[in-house]
Every structure is written in structure tokens, then in C-alpha cells.
Amino acid sequence: GATPVLTYHSVSADPAWLPWAGETAVSPETFERHLVTLRRMGCVVLDTVEFCRLRRAGAPVPPNAVILHLDDGYLDAWVAAEPILRRHRVRATLFVSLDFVEPDCPPRTTIESDPAGPHRWDGYASWRELRAMQARGAIDVQPHGVDHARVPTGPRIETRLTRRNWRRLAWVQWAASPGPKHDWHLRPEAWAVPIGAPVPESGGALAARAWTGTGLEPADAYLARVRRDLGACVAAFERELVTRPAIFCWPQNLTSAAARAIAAEEGFLATTGGGGENRPEEDPAVISRLHVGDRALGFRWPWAEGVALRAAVRCFQGELAWGFVLASMAAVRRAVTAARRPWAGEATP
């Protein structure tokens, strides 16, 4: 049958520093409610590598299995998600982009080491924290590329940078500033591309050939970029975590057949970006994922968060009657969001 791969990003009590928090952040309370819901549903939480090896061997995947992913390597994976996972004795895969890993620093306090806080919620986990999470077993760290950027894919201009939108369009700054970017959110102004600059149509940097101004880059140049990024990830993981990575998560979950072929050459068991349901008859080297959010009704209610997760998992598994529950909850969410919009101003996601 189908195997849901549940994809989280930020697990934070204060995700306001993220311009896209409305779409990608869940509270620690919601994350915990989700794990409780999975246990009550009788779900078996598998490690991603274990799951991929079973699929590649043609071995049966346990019925009612689910996999947990955490994208982007935020600090809150260390502060909140990892202690909650250990408490529930389940394992998740954390995907990190090299340019965003915090330089080594003393590990920050967590909801386990200092329940009363205060905790720092902004920013990204450090290599030292990643090593600690990997060693304790509840988190398996895998690569998410180098810079999480996008590339122009054509001459059409979609918008221009303004003081209101440049953070939401942070990829423009990331693409123009090679090197460490763990502190990008602390910068008061756009730093690499000025306000007023055009923002072209774009695609995932590892998924598309870049527009050069006169045409698309040669196919071999695109493949070289993909190979360079994957190679950098392998080298960094062997150096910092003393392990060879096995799973690759494409930035923005976007890829191409050519990029997948390079990942296979580099020794990756599987990569993300699929549009299927992880069934036995599908390509075992492709992982299809289900995004998980918060505030299913437009406001946070623990009971509703559990129901929404249950409905999403069961729909993915083929119990389509649960789709009526999801559609009803989505309608309430839209109504609540619309009612709030006139008052929320720029802060509304």
C-alpha cells in the first residue's frame, strides 16, 4: 500500500522570524499531538534509510508505516523537535543545507535541558548540535543541498524587490551571496541584491537550467552545478558527521531526471521530489512526501490538529472518504483567514 512521508519544517513556539512561517511552522504542542495521534492510529514510524532499503530490496514495508521528515535544519529541530521525538521514541530525518548550518558554538538550551526557557527559536542548528542529535538516535541528518537557492529560468520579470517583500524573496539574496548564510535573517536590509531590482521567473537551482540573459545555460553546465552541489554535501557530511549521506532532499522538493541520475551515481539510495504514494510498484529511488502544517481550522486547536493529521494520513493511504473531512476543515480555514485579513496587515502569511 501507500506509505506517507510526513514533511515538517519548523517546530517552534516563536517562528515569526521566518517570512513563510504561516505555511511551514508547527508549534511544539501540535508536533507532540501529531506523534500521539500516529501512535493512537497504530502507525509504525520507520527511519527513512530503513524504508528505502526495504523498498530497494523488494521487501514488504510494515502496514500502516509512516516516515517523518524535517526540512531546512532550523535551530528549533534541536530546541524542540528532537527532545519530543526522543520522548516518543520515534526517529525523523533532518535535512540541512550546508550554507545555513551555524558555525560551531556551545549547544543552545532545549525544552528538555531547560523547560522554563527562555529559548532562542530563530536561526539554524550548528554542526555540534547536529552531531549530538545524530549520536542520540532520534534524528538522522541528511543533506538538503548547499544554498537552497533558485535560478532565473527565463526573461520574464515577475516582480521587483521592495522593503516589504525582500525577506519573503530571500532566495534572491541567497543566490547572489555564495558562502555562509546562517545569519541572513538578522540583516536589517537586503544585502546582495538591492531594493528595486527585478525578480525574474525562477525554478529550483538543482531542477532547472539557468537563464543567462541570452538563453538557457548549456545542459552540461547545469549538470556540473548539480554534481558540484551533491559532491559538496558528501564531502561535508564525511568531514563533519563522519558518515556518508544516503538520502538527498532536493531544495524546494524540485528536481529533474538528469539530477536524479547524478544522485544515483553519487551513491544516494533515494531522493525526494516524487509525485506518487511510495507504493511497491513505484521507483524505490524516489520519495514522495506529504506536507504537514498547523492551524487546520485557521486557529490552533489540539483536537483539530490531530483530526487533520489523521485525515491526511488516511487519505494518502487510500481511504478517500477522509477527504471530506479535509475539505471541510480547509473551508473553515479559508473563512477564518479571510475574516482576519483586513486586520492582519503585512504579518498575515
- Per-residue pLDDT of 42-79, as tens digits, reads 999 999 999 999 999 999 999 999 999 999 999 999 99
- The amino acid that residue 240 corresponds to is E
* pLDDT band at 346; cut points 50, 70, 90: very low
Q: To the nearest whole percent, how much of the chain has pLDDT over 70? A: 98
Mean pLDDT over residues 316-326, rounded? Answer: 96
Mean pLDDT of the residues in the chain? 95
Mean pLDDT over residues 289-317, rounded? Answer: 97
Q: What is the pLDDT of residues 258-270, one digit of tens each?
A: 999 999 999 999 9
Mean pLDDT over residues 96-120, rounded? Answer: 93
Q: What is the pLDDT of residues 130-168, one digit of tens each?
A: 999 999 999 999 999 999 989 999 999 999 999 999 999
Is the pLDDT reported for residue 199 higher than 70?
A: yes
| pLDDT at residue 149, rounded to an integer | 86
| pLDDT at residue 183, rounded to an integer | 97
Cis omega (within 30 of 0) on the bond before 118? yes
| pLDDT at residue 186, rounded to an integer | 97
| pLDDT at residue 342, rounded to an integer | 63
Rg of the chain (C-alpha set): 20
Q: Classify residue 3 by burial, with Cβ atoms within 10 Å: 0-12, 13-18, 19+.
A: buried
Mean pLDDT over residues 272-297, rounded? Answer: 97
- Grid coordinates of 237: 557530511
Q: What is the pLDDT of residues 200-225, one digit of tens each?
A: 999 999 999 999 999 999 999 999 99
Taking alpha carbons only, the member of 67, 68, 71 closest to residue 23 is: 71
Q: Give the separation between CA 184 and CA 177, rounded to whole angstroms.
A: 10
Q: Is the pTM of this model over 0.75?
A: yes
| pLDDT at residue 333, rounded to an integer | 96
* pLDDT band at 341; cut points 50, 70, 90: confident
* DSSP class of 257: H
Asked whether 96 and 130 are in contact (CB, 8 A), the reply is: yes
| pLDDT at residue 348, rounded to an integer | 31
> Higher pLDDT residue, 329 or 116?
329
For the chain, how many helices (H) and strands (E)? 11, 13
Q: Is the dihedral of CA 222, 125, 21, 83 positive or negative?
A: positive
Is the pLDDT reported for residue 193 higher than 60?
A: yes
| pLDDT at residue 344, rounded to an integer | 46
Q: Which residues are CB-neighbours of 283 under 8 A, at least 6 positions away? A: 274
